[in-house]
Amino acid sequence: MKSKPIKLWTIFGLLLLAGLIVWSFTLTRGVQTVGWKPFDGSGSPKTEWVKTYDSGFEDHVIGIQGDSDGGCAVLGTVYSEDGPTPSYFLRFDEIGKLLNKRVFSFDQPSRASSLERTIDGGYLVLVNKRVRGTSALDPSVDLAYKLDSTGQNDWQAQIDVTDGWGAFSLIEKKSSLNEESVYYWVANTSGLNKTRETSTIGVIRLDQSGKPQWRKDIIQTGIGGSASATSDGGLIVVGTVDQNTESYSPDVYVLKIDQNGVRQWDANFGGDGYDYGTAIKELGGGGYIVGGKSRSFNGGYQIYLLKLDAQGKLVWEKDFGGDNHDWANTLNICDDGGFLLGGSVKSWTKPVVFGCHEKTPISLYVMKINKDGNFLWHKRYEFAGGYSSGFACLADDGGYFALGSKWGVNLDGSFPVGGPRDYFIAKINADR
């Protein structure tokens, strides 16, 4: 018995019905969130879990720190051209469950700028708040918070920033178990002058309860971006310097400050292209490790890693990445002497077509390097790099945490301004 042929109008009707279903679904979505895609390099540890958190705003992540309970704490801020812009402190347990949330919200625009873990298991948070206006040059105040492990205040300090730059680091220093902690507020208190010869970095020392003890303004040649404490009681600062008066050609800038806020030495590093320093740590055996990005070696921006001796002399320098735009935001020293870098990359990622538009997704990127600067492994999470938001830190169990911003993409392929962008957190197992 022959089967009856399917009539043309039946096929047309089914296609029309399917189209109506898709069209109806599209109208109800408005904005679609693009799913993350993990890409594991050879030998890289497995991703244990991934979590996202949506505050309901356009969130930009600022930093992540592991805690002693196996979980992590995250700091993020909402970007907006006007109106209140809250910042969020979020704490997650070892399986990614939200434990604590703290919202820093004011009647003027504000932004978080730094998250650090303290010796007693708490956290240091910096938030810059505009006094009036919305420009970066308008007067503002820095609010420095010492939080306990749940995100509640141990103390809070306010520091006036008359020229509006604000601090980039808040650091704890404790010389011995019997000594009270002190804290250092570090900021660009003025920019480069018109001839690009000098700028000023301000350092304020706070006592154990957050009260200022002294302030020093150091006139130097670069602009700071990150700082960390050193074993001699001082500070090491990394940033960018540009003394080329004819064209923009920045180099990595490193500044060593003693325990009294006095400059000991400074140094510049890089090639003929654009070079930026974003993170620095003191090494256990002396010297420093510096992370950033460079355009001096391979056309596009690449992750830039430098090892310096105790006097700031270059020991070696390495670059990692592809031919597009790759950079590191965070740098951690691992127990095995190697280095963990967290950042964002556009290399190795094929352009994706959304509607009539073609975009190259930014990927959250994590890379492990051995003590000699040789590549060990890397991991990428596509669509989780935000604009430039990629961070990583060490986990208490020997593994790692990675933090990014998960894209929301309009149906016509454009990236929405003020649209949803979720916190994206990945837990990575310990090395194999």
Predicted confidence band at 171 (pLDDT cuts at 50, 70, 90)? very high
Of all residues in the chain, the percent with pLDDT exceeding 70 is 73
pLDDT at 226: 93
Instruction: Give the chain as a 3 state SS string.
Output: CCCCCCCHHHHHHHHHHHHHHHHHHHHHHCEEECCCEEEECCCCCCEEEEEEECCCCEEEEEEEEECCCCCEEEEEEECCCCCCCCEEEEEECCCCCEEEEEEECCCCCEEEEEEEECCCCCEEEEEEEECCCCCCCCCEEEEEEEECCCCCEEEEEEEEECCCCCEEEEEEECCCCCCCCEEEEEEEEECCCCCCCCEEEEEEEECCCCCEEEEEEEEECEEEEEEEECCCCCEEEEEEECCCCCCCCCEEEEEEECCCCCEEEEEEECCCCCEEEEEEEECCCCCEEEEEEEEEEECEEEEEEEEECCCCCEEEEEEECCCCEEEEEEEEECCCCCEEEEEEECCCCCCEEECCEEECCCEEEEEEECCCCCEEEEEEEECCECCCCEEEEECCCCCEEEEEEECEEECCCCCCCCCCEEEEEEEECCCC
Two structure tokens written together for 246: 């004819």
pLDDT at 432: 75
Two structure tokens written together for 149: 């492990």
Q: Which of 8-12, 149-153, 295-299, 346-350 has the lowest mean pLDDT?
A: 8-12
Q: What is the CATH number of the domain that holds 68?
A: 2.130.10.10
Other C-beta atoms lying within 10 Å of the C-beta of residue 106: 15
pLDDT at 302: 85
pLDDT at 296: 82
**Whether the predicted pLDDT of 353 surpasses 70:** no
Q: Which of 143-157, 206-220, 343-357 has the lowest mean pLDDT?
A: 343-357
pLDDT at 2: 41
Examine residue 217 and state whether it is found in any structural domain, yes or no: yes
What distance, in Å, lies between the first and last C-alpha atoms of the chain?
63
pLDDT at 141: 86
Examine residue 21 and state whether it is found in any structural domain, yes or no: no
**Whether the predicted pLDDT of 245 surpasses 60:** no
pLDDT at 39: 60
**Whether the predicted pLDDT of 25 surpasses 70:** no
Examine residue 11 and state whether it is found in any structural domain, yes or no: no
Give backbone dihedrals phi and psi of 24, rounded to 5 degrees, phi first. Answer: -65, -40
pLDDT at 392: 96
Predicted confidence band at 28 (pLDDT cuts at 50, 70, 90)? very low
Examine residue 18 and state whether it is found in any structural domain, yes or no: no
Predicted confidence band at 36 (pLDDT cuts at 50, 70, 90)? very low
Distance CA(332)–CA(403), nearest Å, equals 14
Q: Which of 287, 362, 278 is nearest to 60 (CA)?
A: 362
pLDDT at 38: 53
pLDDT at 6: 46
Examine residue 99 and state whether it is found in any structural domain, yes or no: yes
pLDDT at 80: 60
Q: Which of 294, 291, 220 is nearest to 256 (CA)?
A: 220
**Whether the predicted pLDDT of 431 surpasses 50:** yes
Distance CA(379)–CA(368), nearest Å, equals 9
Examine residue 17 and state whether it is found in any structural domain, yes or no: no
The CA R_g of the chain, rounded to the nearest whole Å, is 24
Two structure tokens written together for 27: 């109208």
**Whether the predicted pLDDT of 214 surpasses 60:** yes
**Whether the predicted pLDDT of 45 surpasses 70:** yes
| Mean pLDDT of the region 179-183 | 90
Q: How many domains does the chain have?
A: 1
Q: Which of 52-56, 153-157, 214-218, 335-339 has the lowest mean pLDDT?
A: 52-56
| Mean pLDDT of the region 85-107 | 92
Predicted confidence band at 34 (pLDDT cuts at 50, 70, 90)? very low
Q: How distant, in Å, are the alpha carbons of 138, 196, 333 from that of 63?
A: 25, 30, 16
Predicted confidence band at 32 (pLDDT cuts at 50, 70, 90)? very low
Distance CA(143)–CA(369), nearest Å, equals 35
Distance CA(366)–CA(424), nearest Å, equals 13
pLDDT at 177: 62
| Mean pLDDT of the region 170-199 | 75
Distance CA(231)–CA(284), nearest Å, equals 9
Residues of the domain holding 147: 44-428
| Mean pLDDT of the region 106-125 | 91
Examine residue 3 and state whether it is found in any structural domain, yes or no: no
Distance CA(126)–CA(186), nearest Å, equals 11
- Rounded to the nearest integer, the mean pLDDT of the chain is 80
Distance CA(117)–CA(181), nearest Å, equals 13
pLDDT at 126: 95
| Mean pLDDT of the region 72-85 | 77
Examine residue 377 and state whether it is found in any structural domain, yes or no: yes
Q: Which residue has the tokens 């309970």?
A: 69
Other C-beta atoms lying within 10 Å of the C-beta of residue 378: 22
Q: Which of 359, 321, 375, 370 is nearest to 343 (CA)?
A: 321
Predicted confidence band at 188 (pLDDT cuts at 50, 70, 90)? confident
pLDDT, greater one: 280 or 240: 280
| Mean pLDDT of the region 44-56 | 87
